[in-house]
Amino acid sequence: MRKILALIASLLATAGMLVSCLESEEIELSSHAYIASFSINDIKTRVPAKTNDGRDTTIVKTTYGKYYTFAINHVTGEVYNVDSLPKGTDVTHVTAEINIGGSYVYYYQDEEAKYFSSKDSIDFTNPVRFTVYAADGSGSRNYHIRLNVHQSDMETLAWTPVENNNFHGGRMTAEKMVQLRDHLMVFGEMGGVPTVMGGKLDGNFRFAKKEWPLKGVVGQVDYSSIVAHENAVYLLADGKLYSSIEGVNWTAESPEHTFDRMLGVADGKLYLSEGGMIVACDPYEWTTDNRVETLTHNWQTVQTVDETLLPVNPSMVTLPLRTNANILRTVLIGNPHADAGGDVSIWSKLSTDPVWTYYNPVAGNDKACPLLERLTVIGYDNKLYAFGGASKDGSVEAFEAIYLSADGGITWRKQKKDIVLPEELKGYSEPFACVVDTEENIWIVCSDGLMFRGRIGG
């Protein structure tokens, strides 16, 4: 610390001499002290591998630092990489680049303060404290910079068959699966009757042996519309909205409205389309009238839209913004309306925005999401993953591959090697349902009774 104080005094003295030598010019030193940007240079990652004769070994690969964006929170003083570095990355000898608003910056290792240089090899095993000093000596600001590293191999998607799950394979058409509190629920039809099955959510998940008809629902159920929201489940039947707190007994809601489709849940609101408008309701409130509890909704018109641009059977996924975890981005995605044609329909909304934005298809985009039957999109590890049945043009087989997007759905990369779907599902053409639970397990259930639980990174 004495070295730091001595250097500060020296810098201030130099500044004073500079002012006296240039009396004809007025030089005002800045009081700013902040980190404007932070980046790391390339580092090494040890990756498990096999020798030609089958023995376990490791190889060293280069992890390119330029591909990792760092978020800077000036309020909390936190700086961190949005996407975690691969498992096995050596963060004990890291060189970095820092742009600051200030005069100079120090960092601390083993209780020792060191003047920062981009040539320094810094140990980021634990968060490192950096201090930026203002040019006029009026103050400083502390930041703690950490390097996030995956603790498991995030390049692997492991699937486990769920045996003896009591699902009535071949008799119930699986259409939609949701998580309601600590249960998973699958909705479909049994002998033409709208039906629900459910089971406790745990590592040894089992469906209940009994199926329950949906009571109180009138008309044709739109199974793609079913969503869980605020400890209740919602669906549309002949355009009318119904709700249930356990998935069996249903109550008609807002009978004055006839909706075109359910869009999903975001910002704590339920979004639907109605007569060329996107409408939303705030979280519901229970009211009691003559001992009968009913739901009340505060509906609002969000915006007017071209109904043909809204996706059919959409998926709605909300993920933190890559550069600011306090802001959420919700992506609404699905196959296009029959009258629209073209590429997959994508809409997006930030939690700070009042309305949704439609992503106009980019002409010649060879990295667009393929048009798949029953296109399903899930969010995982701050990325979007898409899969489904066969492609419309026949170029992709059903359940052939998973596609990944790290930019909110604009571009997609076909995953190979370890990010794959269960081999048993290749070419599967019957209805299926999928959901990601709160423990980040991926569940897929099929009409023939097949059921799988998957997890990325172990």
pLDDT of residue 326: 82
Would you state the structure tokens that stand for residue 152, as one six-digit string? 């498991």
Successive 10-residue mean pLDDT values, the chain, 458 residues: 48 45 60 93 83 79 86 91 85 95 92 92 95 90 93 75 74 86 90 88 65 94 93 94 93 91 93 95 61 66 94 93 83 88 90 93 82 94 92 90 92 88 92 90 88 81
- Ordered by start, the domain boundaries in the chain are 2-40+70-146, 157-456
CATH fit for domain 157-456, picks 3.40.50.300, 2.120.10.80, 3.40.50.2300, 1.10.10.10: 2.120.10.80
CATH architecture of 2-40+70-146: Sandwich (2.60)
- Amino acid of residue 79: V
Q: How far apart are CA 308 and CA 310, in angstroms?
A: 6
- Looking at residue 165, its pLDDT comes to 74
Assign 3-class secondary structure to the chain. CHHHHHHHHHHHHHHHHHHHHCCCCCCCCCCCCEEEEEEECCEEEEEEEECCCCCEEEEEEEECHHHCCEEEECCCCEEEECCCECCCECCCCECEEEEEECCEEEEEECCEEEECCCCCCECCCCCEEEEEECCCCCCEEEEEEECCECCCCCCCEEEEECCCCCCCCCCEEEEEEEEECCEEEEEEEECCEEEEEEEECCCCCCCCCCCEECECCCCCEEEEEEEEECCEEEEEECCEEEEECCCCECEEECCCCCCCEEEEEECCEEEEECCCEEEEECCCEEEEECCEEEEECCEEEEEECCHHHCCEEEEEEEEEECCEEEEEEEEEEEECCCCCCCCCEEEEEECCCCCCEECCCCCCCCCCCCCECCCEEEEECCEEEEECCCECCCCCCCCCCCEEECCCCCCCEECCCCCCCCHHHCCCCCCEEEEECCCCCEEEEECCCCEEEEEECC
**Distance linking the first and last C-alpha atoms of the chain:** 45
Quote the pLDDT of residue 291: 53
Give the type of residue at 97: E
CA distance 66 to 110: 28
For 83, counting Cβ atoms within 10 Å of its Cβ (0-12 exposed, 13-18 middle, 19+ buried), the class is: middle
Instruction: Identify whether the C-beta of residue 68 lies closer than 8 Å to the C-beta of residue 86.
Output: no
